[in-house]
Structure 1
């Protein structure tokens, strides 16, 4: 297998609200959304929003799961200040700050927010590895 992540699809409870959160609140560029799916083109990978029940049905799993999903999505930025800015933008768009930004034990700076469906996003600055390209 060639190592590549090309798309992350989030199963959301309210497609319209989640689309507004990511498009209007976080400023992600929406790309030709059709019917019951919204696509956002980002540097390196695509983000898709799809109704939670339909995504579970497609994967043939139960849609009733909740709580910690055992994963987070990382958004890496160029500076500590950028971490604070993105967390403020997310909060202003309706996200819940789960961990305010702070210095990390690995030498960086990061914080976490949860989107409207509870998906965890880490916003991080890593001084030793450029993950912003």
Structure 2
């Protein structure tokens, strides 16, 4: 069986602004991308950005939506300090802090922000399991 690539795709209102947020603000490594999309390497998966209207049209659904969609992204880091650093980076790049960094009920440390389009991100440190690449 050929390997498969998983990708998280986000529909955004302003592609150029979102590219700046993820590339310059969060310093995610941007891959070569056609002009109508942007791809970022996330150590084992990809983040893809496209215009919200284009993605909605492709899926055959309405582009408008609000509230919690039952979906958020989680980014696991190696320390509590890194949780603070990533959240600070996101806020400086224009994100909105949703939940201040704090001890989590499950024993870790985390906080939440919304990106420029309201996509919810959890930044977390789990001291019990490392989710990142193996050295």
Unaligned runs of 5+ in 2: none
Deviation at 1:35, TM superposition (A): 1.7
Deviations 1:20-43 (A, max 9, x none): 000000001111121210010110
SS in 1 for 2:32: strand
Matches for 1:17-28 after TM superposition, within 5 Å: 17-28=17-28
Residue of structure 2 in register with 1:6 after alignment:
6
Moved over 4 A (4+): none
SS in 2 for 1:34: coil
- TM-score, normalising length from structure 1? 0.94
- TM-score, normalising length from structure 2? 0.93
Residue of structure 2 in register with 1:49 after alignment:
49
Tell whether 2:93 aligns with 1:93. Answer: yes
- Give the Cα–Cα distance (whole angstroms) in 2 for the partners of residues 114 and 132 of structure 1: 22
Tell whether 2:109 aligns with 1:109. Answer: yes
SS in 1 for 2:111: strand
Equivalent pairs, count: 130
Deviation at 1:65, TM superposition (A): 1.5
> Is the alpha carbon distance of 1:83 and 1:5 closer, same or farther for their aligned partners in structure 2, counting shifts above 3 Å?
farther
Residue of structure 1 in register with 2:61 after alignment:
61
- Give the Cα–Cα distance (whole angstroms) in 2 for the partners of residues 105 and 10 of structure 1: 28
Unaligned runs of 5+ in 1: none
